[in-house]
Amino acid sequence: MPDDSAPEPTHRALGLTDDELSMIMTTLGREPNHLELAMYSVMWSEHCSYKSSRIHLKRFPSKAPHVLIGPGEGAGVVDVGDGIAVAIRIESHNHPSAIEPYQGAATGVGGILRDIFSMGARPIAVMDPLRFGPLDDPRSRWIAEGVVSGVSGYGNSVGVPTVGGETVFDPTYVGNPLVNVLCLGVMPRERLVLGRAEGPGNLAVLLGASTGRDGIGGSRSWRLRGSPIPRPMPRSDRACRSATPSRRSA
């Protein structure tokens, strides 16, 4: 009989299966150390690689004459006619929102806004289907209040309205909510920008404040030779940025 008192193997504690450990060892040609296991755990997680849902996502149709960009870029883009393209991005921030509801949900909204910007589009609307445990459960109520505040706080700060969504409360979601956010952006079709930089001679430029030794605090944007010059920041965004204290003055 298995010894239940034996410590759990490191790879399992990090969320890796026995088969995945075998793949890692084959790739490295040796046993991985703890740091390497942790890195594989993060990069092979559902959040980063969609390892459990990818097989289901592939079943959705993603090719059609009006589909300009399918899977592989920051957001999907479709041609809606009259020279206008629409960029759509959906993000899930379930477990981060269970740990820190406000920041987890706000980061989800921020991520999809960034993805829409990166395609050359201007975000115009956010939607958020949410699932929580019953409100008579204190932790579920704390999560729900924080998530709603995070979604509205981030979206309102940059002037993108939350135009719809739905909220369901069920015991299934006690301890781990579902926090899904959708962002829609529009642009002239010719403004479409891709993240790929193919061919030699492309120049990448890093702009913004430097990242602190704590790993946060940086502001980065990349521009590739031959890509459109970014437009000036909208007035509402400038106001938000100017209202944020800089790291030097903090």
| Annotation says 93 is catalytic | yes
| pLDDT at 1 (0 to 100) | 53
Determine the angle formed by the axes of helices 101-118 and 138-157, rounding to 10 degrees.
Answer: 30
Question: Are 112 and 89 within 8 A, CB to CB?
Answer: yes
Which residues, at least 6 apart from 242, have a Cβ–Cβ distance to it below 8 Å? none
Catalytic residue among 11, 56, 66, 93: 93
The answer to whether residue 47 is catalytic is yes
- pLDDT reported for residue 208: 66
- 66-119 tens-digit pLDDT: 999 998 888 999 999 999 999 999 988 888 899 999 999 998 888 889 899 889
Phi/psi region, residue 152 (left: phi>0; alpha: psi -120 to 50; beta: rest), is alpha
DSSP string, 134-163: -TTSHHHHHHHHHHHHHHHHHHHHTT--EE
Q: Which residues contact 194 (CB under 8 A, 6 or more apart)?
A: 69, 73, 119
Segment 10-14 mean pLDDT:
91
- Distance of alpha carbon 50 from alpha carbon 53, whole angstroms: 5
Res 50: pLDDT: 80
At 232 the pLDDT is: 38
Does pLDDT of 142 surpass 50? yes
Rg, Å, the chain Cα set: 21
Percent of the chain with pLDDT over 90: 48
Phi, psi of 17 (to 5 degrees): -85, 170
Q: Do the bridges between strand 178-188 and strand 204-207 make them parallel or antiparallel, or are there none, so unpaired?
A: unpaired
Catalytic residue among 11, 34, 47, 66: 47
Distance, CA of 56 to chain centre: 19
Place of tokens 């939350």: 162
